[in-house]
Amino acid sequence: MPGDQDPTPKPQQHNADASRTTGPDAGQPSVLPHTQHQLIILTGMSGAGKQSALRAFEDLGYYSVDNLPLELIPQFAELISSSSEIHRAALGVDVREALLDRFPQILKQVQPLLPTTVLFLDAADDVLVRRYSETRRPHPLGRDEGVLTQIHTERRRLETIRNVAGVLLDTSRFNVHELRAHIHAQFGHESQQQAMLVSVMSFGFKNGVPPEADLLLDVRFLPNPHFIPEFRHKTGQDAGVAEYVMGFPQTSEFLDRTTDMLLFLLPHYVREGKSYLTVALGCTGGQHRSVALAEELATRLHHAGYRVKTSHRDMPR
């Protein structure tokens, strides 16, 4: 509290062929050369994890589209190959498509335009039946027949696509997280392994804790620039205020330890499928200490290769 101690402490100075793979224990070959433009056509048995896989590609930065009509795929590939903004795309194709028999011909039209891999997800019949039972969702072919009969019908319809698939992936022993991790490992570029967006925000405890925070750090252990008249009406974005806050040895140690912790945690969050993390730093009013530290922490994470954005909830405008 003010008056209990001196409020102004002084800081100290100081294009290979696609490989086929099955199951979570299979190797993870390089599927596509890391060229500028790439297309993944994602298909396979309903219940084998196509939606989860498509979201994993989206997390890796692929422009993802589900159920694009087959006859539009060549035009879509042409747009991607000439785009300066979209370099990688993933398309979902399922059994409800009416022109499945034409897929090999359409694939031949697409391959000269940009490197293309067909990824076919499969699973054992009993696994698919169990998954439908657990989710209680109907098979996309309808409710007129039993699930197992629909699965057999779907296999026959998809046989043409399966025969031209570059990657066959059996997901029978995958859970959602393992499937996502496999997609990231097999199709993600090294730089995409850190595709998570980290939001670093500052706030003031007097205005309440931000409910969106995943990790919350209290920086009120640092001396408060509010008690220095020349800093009172400035913020942590001011060079003088930032220099004051950063000048204490405990500030440097806090930043070093926090950065080390985040660089340890972030890859594990990515592997578990988390694509967005909010780190909130709080001081009393959200004007000085938390702002300066949020800016510095964001800079460190950016230099480590992560996508970072900053926000200051309670900083005066």
Q: What pLDDT does 270 receive?
A: 76
Q: What pLDDT does 120 receive?
A: 93
Nearest to 61 by CA among 275, 204, 227: 275
Q: What pLDDT does 207 receive?
A: 93
- For 94, the token pair is 């399922």
The predicted-structure confidence for 199-255, as pLDDT tens digits, reads as follows 999 999 999 999 889 999 999 999 999 999 999 999 999 999 999 999 999 999 999
Q: What angle do CA 245, 249, 250 make, to 5 degrees?
A: 80
Average pLDDT of span 60-81 = 90
Average pLDDT of span 71-96 = 89
C-alpha of 168 from chain center = 23
**pTM as predicted:** 0.54
- Distance between CA atoms of residues 236 and 117, nearest Å: 49
Q: What pLDDT does 142 receive?
A: 65
Give the confidence band of 282 by pLDDT, cuts at 50, 70, 90.
very high
The predicted-structure confidence for 99-156, as pLDDT tens digits, reads as follows 888 999 999 999 999 889 999 999 999 898 888 777 667 776 666 677 788 888 889 9
Q: What pLDDT does 15 receive?
A: 32
- Antiparallel, parallel or unpaired: β 38-44 and 276-283: unpaired
Q: How far apart are the first and last CA of the chain?
A: 27
Which carries the bigger pLDDT value, residue 28 or residue 49?
49
Q: What pLDDT does 202 receive?
A: 96
Q: Mean pLDDT lowest for which of 17-21, 249-253, 311-315? A: 17-21
Q: Is the dihedral of CA 130, 133, 134, 139 positive or negative?
A: positive
- Distance between CA atoms of residues 141 and 153, nearest Å: 9
Q: What pLDDT does 143 receive?
A: 62
Say what percent of the chain tops pLDDT 70: 82
Neighbours of 31 (CB within 10 A): 19
Distances (CA, A) of 15 to 2, 35, 59, 63, 153: 67, 8, 23, 21, 35
Q: What pLDDT does 281 receive?
A: 98
Q: What pLDDT does 178 receive?
A: 83
Q: What pLDDT does 24 receive?
A: 38
Say what percent of the chain tops pLDDT 90: 47
Q: What pLDDT does 182 receive?
A: 82
- For 15, the token pair is 């294009």
Q: What pLDDT does 166 receive?
A: 87
User: Taking 80 as the threshold, does the pLDDT of residue 27 lie above it?
Assistant: no
